[in-house]
Structure 1
Amino acid sequence: MQFAQPVLAAPVAGGVCKGSIYLTFDTGSQSQAELIAATLRRHQIKATFFLANEKTVNGDYSLDMSWSAYWKSLANEGHAFGTHTFDHVYVVGDLPDGRIAVKPQFGAQAGKTLNWTAQQYCQELRRVDQRFFELTGKKLDPYWRAPGGKLTPALLKAGEACGYQHVGWSPAGFSGDELPSEKFSNLMLLQRALTQLKDGDIFVAHMGIWSRKQAWAPANLEALIQGLEQKSFCFATLREHPAYQTSTQLKK
């Protein structure tokens, strides 16, 4: 599907945009956090970040006060932010009584299967919003992304009732940074993205993955951006994406 060119997309050399790509980043080990910020800044690109309170390579958590300056800097630069659930909560399935079975990856209930109401899931989404305000003085945009991108009918309904529009990613926008590097090399993933990404696609990567032996971002982020710029693509946040502009305008 072709989308109209967003007005605020970052310009490419020559000033002509032939299409727009929406870069999004989910929190993770945060091993690539500084590299991602520096690369986006160098190319004058704005992206969208989905935040959860995940354990980092520094031994802290990504929404600790120790990360306040980092998130505040990105917020002041004009990036967009959504909730990824505070404890990186995976959905297990919908229950007959209307509740939702979930399993947090972090926090006091990590690894346990819990049965939540829609209201409890809403509280989990809003915990990120509350912490982000404490860290930056700003509110999140009205977007959320379920960990793993996995949804159920009840989960989607709970997020919408809470005021957040769910954001997945395009088929060609899967970076593959969670895949084993022994089978999916950085070069293979880069070539696939540069070949298949098209106007309007949402791209997803993480700010560091514990399991991948050859990290994706150091090898691929700069090359991906440069390759897309050479193809006259521009970049924008989800605030400019046609599918999400309405929810942004109705922001809580």
Structure 2
Amino acid sequence: MALPVLAASAANTVDPGPACKGTIYLTFDTGSQSQADYIARTLNKYGIKATFFLANEKTVNGDYSLDPAWAPYWKARVAEGHAFGTHTFDHVYVQRDLADGRIEVKPQFGANAGNKLAWTPQQYCDELKRVDQRFHALTGARLDPLWRAPGGRLTPHLLAAGQACGYAHVGWADAGYSGDELPSQRWPNALLLKRALNGLKGGDIFIAHMGIWSRQDPWAPADLEPLIVGLQQKGFCFATLRQHPLYQRNQQGNQATFTPSSTAIKKP
């Protein structure tokens, strides 16, 4: 499928001016980090602020995304004015709620990678805060009171644990799922771009990753810039979740959540 004509010359952006048709909230979860530099360059090129959700994930450099080697990268993003949330330190997937009030979880990284654990709500809170502690050590800055569960997976106990810890959960809109984790043979970048441009509307939250190990044709180099250009041509502006009406309330200590809704293509 050919890319839309609007993507042919990504350098010719359209400034929507002070009056925007609506605002799109770009968010990026850590991943293999193969696209980290490209994403940063592209956001800077168009003067766009985004929201990053951080976990300590293995990277293509052989290290982890919250290792000291990544301090310059995260410091630069802080200086640029982006927002940041926690994605759990060890990229911990929820499995199910337990009858005794605990939560069964399965970390992807760390000392307990691949093991199922039974955590109390406080233990999950501590896991969320580990990211903030490391981020502060690396950058001197603090996370925003936002979190995203790996895979967007929630249970009642998990959601309550995050809220009790002071974090508002952030999902994404139907059209806001980039599809960058899906097989590129079945979901080519051109199709994903078309889906996003046709479906996104003002107020939507968009999710992509900073590199996916399994996708043969990476999403970001093919789609991020054309997506930005296409949305600008439609009159949309961009902002961090600090400016989202729902999460502005959480900045003042009130709880909020935006959970994923059903969509035609979902994260595996």
Distance in 1, Cα, partners of 2:243 & 2:161: 24
Residues 35-46 of structure 1 mapped to structure 2, 5 A cutoff: 35-46=38-49
Secondary structure of residue in 2 paired with 1:102: strand
Between Structure 1 and Structure 2, how many residues are aligned?
A: 241
1:102 and 2:116 matched: no
Secondary structure of residue in 2 paired with 1:234: strand
Checking the alignment, whether the CA contact within 8 Å between 2:85 and 2:144 is kept in structure 1 is yes
Checking the alignment, whether the CA contact within 8 Å between 1:89 and 1:104 is kept in structure 2 is yes
1:187 and 2:190 matched: yes
Distance in 1, Cα, partners of 2:138 & 2:201: 35
Checking the alignment, whether the CA contact within 8 Å between 2:166 and 2:253 is kept in structure 1 is no
Secondary structure of residue in 1 paired with 2:142: coil
Secondary structure of residue in 1 paired with 2:245: coil
Distance in 1, Cα, partners of 2:244 & 2:18: 20
Distance in 2, Cα, partners of 1:146 & 1:35: 25
1:113 and 2:123 matched: no
Residues 133-172 of structure 1 mapped to structure 2, 5 A cutoff: 133-172=136-175
CA deviations 1:30-70 (Å, max 9, x no partner) are 00000000000010000000000000000000000000000
Secondary structure of residue in 2 paired with 1:203: strand
Q: What is residue 199 of structure 1 aligned with on the other side?
A: 202
Q: What is residue 244 of structure 2 aligned with on the other side?
A: 241
Distance in 2, Cα, partners of 1:230 & 1:34: 25
* CA positional deviation for 1:15: 3.4
Checking the alignment, whether the CA contact within 8 Å between 2:16 and 2:236 is kept in structure 1 is no
* CA positional deviation for 1:248: 1.4
Checking the alignment, whether the CA contact within 8 Å between 1:12 and 1:233 is kept in structure 2 is no
* CA positional deviation for 1:13: 3.7
Checking the alignment, whether the CA contact within 8 Å between 2:55 and 2:66 is kept in structure 1 is yes
Distance in 2, Cα, partners of 1:64 & 1:113: 25
1:52 and 2:55 matched: yes
Query: What percentage of residue pairs aligned between the two structures are identical?
Result: 71
Secondary structure of residue in 2 paired with 1:115: strand
Q: Which amino acid aligns with 2:164?
A: A
Q: What is residue 125 of structure 2 aligned with on the other side?
A: 122
Distance in 1, Cα, partners of 2:15 & 2:60: 34
TM-score between the two structures when normalised by the length of structure 2: 0.89
